[in-house]
Structure 1
Amino acid sequence: MRERDEMGGITPPPPRRQPPTVRLRRLAAELRRLRQEAGLAQNEVTDKTDLNLATLYRIETAKTKPQLRTLNALLDLYGVTGSQRTDLVSLQKEARQRGWLNGFEANLSDQYTALISLEAEAEQAINYESLFIPGLLQTEDYARAVIQAVPPTATDAQVENRVTARLQRQALLEGETPLRLWAILDQAALYRTVGSDAIMRNQLAHLARQAQRPHITIQVIPFSAGAHSGMLGSFILLKFARGNSDVIYIDSMAGDLFLEKETDIARYNDMCEHLRAIALSPADTAALLASSREDH
């Protein structure tokens, strides 16, 4: 039997699940705030509309994009008019925009397309890596060597598609308002030979050049720092414009994770401060990059 939609009609089979964009997350947060300001509980909203409780939950947590008629019903209930209403309707229409990603997502995992979607709209990324050079700072040869090895069963076509996507992501570091990147690496990432010594020399030279750009900061945690909290694993902390909460992305063998709870965000922000404090300064990092290049 075919399912009924949010307002009681018949819906077509569900499309391939798409990751939430920043616009969709912002729309969800605004609808949640408006309901609370109206003094309504979720069950009161469902009593006053044809919307079911499960769907309202999914809308308010950015799990699904509300249909326009559903959005209008909610805005009517919350008494939203004028420019505020126009802005929210515009958010609904733009909620699935992902730019260049549209040509790649059929060949990439949902989690990776979610990262790309969110990363493209972030203002700042703080990336800690214990074993790899951060993806946004990888050369093409280094990226290909990593992607060929992880996982080792990837086909040539899958490898090249992933390499192309990674290089496309790096366009975020260009333009008039580039992504601000703060990369923190364990020293091990500089000394592990990925591909070949020639590839590593080129990669480390690329890192040194990137570190000179005003919107990119690179710090290395030296072996002498001993054990530290970053040894638990790599992560990316994405920070957005005011009104949008931060997101933590964790890539692991058990699957990619996105953390958005306030307690998780606070914990990872504290970790970032700790890692910055024990890492070498950007100037000392530049010297270490030069010496490690010679070692390769």
Structure 2
Amino acid sequence: MPPRRVVTGRSQEPRQRFAEELRLLRTGSGASLRQLGERLGWDWSLFGKMEKGETLGGPEVVQALDQHYGTSGMLLVLWELARGDKTQFRERYRRYMTLEAEAVSLWHFAVSVLPGLLQTRGYARELLAAGGITGDELTQQVEARLGRQELLEGDGAPPFRTILSEAALRMALSDKRAWREQLAYLAESAKRPNLTIHVLPESAGPHGLVSTDVWFLRMPDGRTVAYTENAYQGELVEENATVERLQRAYDAVRDLALSPAESRKFVLRLLEEVPCDPST
């Protein structure tokens, strides 16, 4: 029996198929690599390397492409297959990213690390490097994280409220200049109309989210989903009773936090404590 013919004529090797689909989608849209980079906020050369199969990029980059082309998660599936490691990017996180893009408002609590949506390049780079990411992959992951911040930009950007534990603000970077830039960025971001920043001082004591970094997404249909995470894994929570328990804990933490105005003053005081000269 002759081998089965591939009707589409497209590659059946996962990595090559992923690159091929990226190239076909872009050329079909009539955009150049440079135009695609400008529209999505990433260096256009990254997309060129992805289309050549030289790199796969990170999940946040692929999610942005899925949203841009309206491919409903197809590229994320191909990306996962191309990696050959299905545990690396689990279904629940893929679903969370899809839900995040659709959310009409977001709430967050940070235990020890600032949220990716508010990280500067220097902060993201040092944090990811501490996790063992190096070389080209580090550069790609930093760009992916910064590109994701487009979610909070534009006229249709959803409101975002975050409560930052004082511990997250006390974990300074080794690069003092980068740390100053991060604190200054937080203080400036607090002025944005769709962004509310609270600081939970250490004096607040123990609370219901003491070891839980959590996101809440309010969906267009009125329901709320949650996503809890630590350094090693995350869990999407959609069961109503569990989401409500997490929300009650979040509301209690917000009652303990400083007001937005006092929180911005807190960040500015921390900024004053950082030496202006990075060598000091």
TM-score by length of 2: 0.65
Q: Write the distance in 2 (CA, Å) between the matches of 1:176 and 1:121.
A: 15
Contact 1:128 1:236 in 2 (8 A): yes
> How far is 1:194 from its partner?
2.2
Tell whether 2:201 aligns with 1:226: no
1:142 to 120, 123, 140: 123
Tell whether 2:95 aligns with 1:114: yes
The corresponding residue for 2:113 is 132
> How far is 1:119 from its partner?
1.2
Q: Secondary structure at the match of 2:161?
A: strand
Mean CA deviation greater in 200-209 or 94-103: 94-103
1:283 to 253, 261, 267: 261
Q: Secondary structure at the match of 1:126?
A: strand
Q: Which amino acid aligns with 1:124?
A: S
Q: Secondary structure at the match of 1:147?
A: helix
Tell whether 2:239 aligns with 1:257: no
> How far is 1:295 from its partner?
1.6
Contact 1:131 1:189 in 2 (8 A): yes
> How far is 1:257 from its partner?
0.9
1:173–1:100 CA distance, 2 compared to 1 (3 A):
farther
The corresponding residue for 2:246 is 268
Unaligned regions of 5+ residues in structure 2, if any? 1-11, 16-68, 275-280
> How far is 1:96 from its partner?
5.3
TM-score by length of 1: 0.62
Offset from partner CA, 1:48-77 (integer Å, 9 cap, x none)? xxxxxxxxxxxxxxxxxxxxxxxxxxxxxx
1:167–1:184 CA distance, 2 compared to 1 (3 A):
same
Mean CA deviation greater in 139-148 or 97-106: 97-106
Higher Cα Rg: structure 1 or 2? 1
1:253–1:141 CA distance, 2 compared to 1 (3 A):
closer
> How far is 1:255 from its partner?
2.2
Q: Secondary structure at the match of 2:155?
A: coil
Equivalenced residue count is 203
Q: Which amino acid aligns with 2:271?
A: R
Percent of pairs with identical residues: 33
Q: Secondary structure at the match of 1:237?
A: strand
